[in-house]
Amino acid sequence: MTLNTSVLLAGIGQMLSTVQEEADFLADDGAGILASVGTTPFWPVWPSVWEMLIRLALNIVTIGIIVHAFYYPKAKRRDYYFTFSIIGVSIFMLIYLMGGIKLKIGFALGLFAIFGIIKYRTEQVPIREMTYMFVIIAVAAINGLATAVSYFELIVTNLIFITALAVCENTRWMKHVPSKLIKYDNIKLIAHGREDELKADLEKRLGLKIIRIETGNVDFLKDSAIIKIYYEPVMDEFGTIDNINKPCKLK
């Protein structure tokens, strides 16, 4: 009986000691949190506020030019217009306001890794939209992280992005040739030597100026063939169903 009582008292003493240690630990943490809250000023340091606003304005102007002048006129996708604009502002604010954390390069690369592999569940992001998303993230990350460079260097960097996109989107020296997969029913015209008749028949049916034709699988039982045509674009066809969606199986 005496042994059981001593063991019980020892257990109670150990429990009280543990409770006291936890209470001291929580008290220290609470004091630290209150101290950190107390050091946060209510009024801003206006020079840093103006620096943030200037960088944000530069970021918004650059992203606006990229999205509104280069992407939207050809794609006409308002959903991606909204996505690119909001992502550009969000990434900038996230990186700029967390710039004091000693993770600058690693943090930025982590964002590239996360958003570089992003895929929406409702629709797979086309390669052109993924490229623009990467550019938007790069511009926002540079404008938010490059606090050690002058505004002139920052403006030049943004202009380099704009110039590169303007050159790549210019169709005068790099012509885009759209294509279509067609299930063709007149297999007599796919024979060698009747290419001109095949081209004339397709141009009459489709109303397109065909550049060249490639012949794929031929089904003699169903009198059909799979052909691929390359034609003169009637407009900037960057957002057509042939480029957005994977070609379905033609039966």
At residue 112, what are phi and psi to the nearest 5 degrees? -60, -40
DSSP string, 133-147: HHHHHHHHHHHHH-T
Is residue 38 predicted with pLDDT exceeding 60? no
pLDDT at 215 over 80: yes
- Min mean pLDDT across 22-31, 152-161, 183-192 is at 22-31
- At 90, the pLDDT band (50, 70, 90 cuts) reads confident
Q: Which of 48-52, 71-75, 166-170, 226-230 has the highest mean pLDDT?
A: 226-230
Q: What are phi and psi of 45, to 5 degrees?
A: -90, 105
Q: Is the pLDDT of residue 94 over 70?
A: yes
- Whether the per-residue pLDDT at 29 is higher than 60: the answer is no
Buried b (16+ CB within 10 A) or exposed e, 166-195: eeebeeeeeeeebebebebeebebbeeeee
Using CB atoms within 10 Å of the CB of residue 208, give its burial: 0 to 12 exposed, 13 to 18 middle, 19+ buried: middle
* Residue-averaged pLDDT of the chain: 76
Q: Taking the mean position of all CA atoms in its chain, how far away is CA 161? A: 16
In the prediction, which pLDDT does 56 show?
92
pLDDT band, residue 77 (cuts 50/70/90): confident
Average pLDDT over residues 72-89: 86
Mean of the pLDDT values across residues 228-234? Answer: 85
Q: How confident is the model at residue 193 (pLDDT cuts 50, 70, 90)?
A: confident
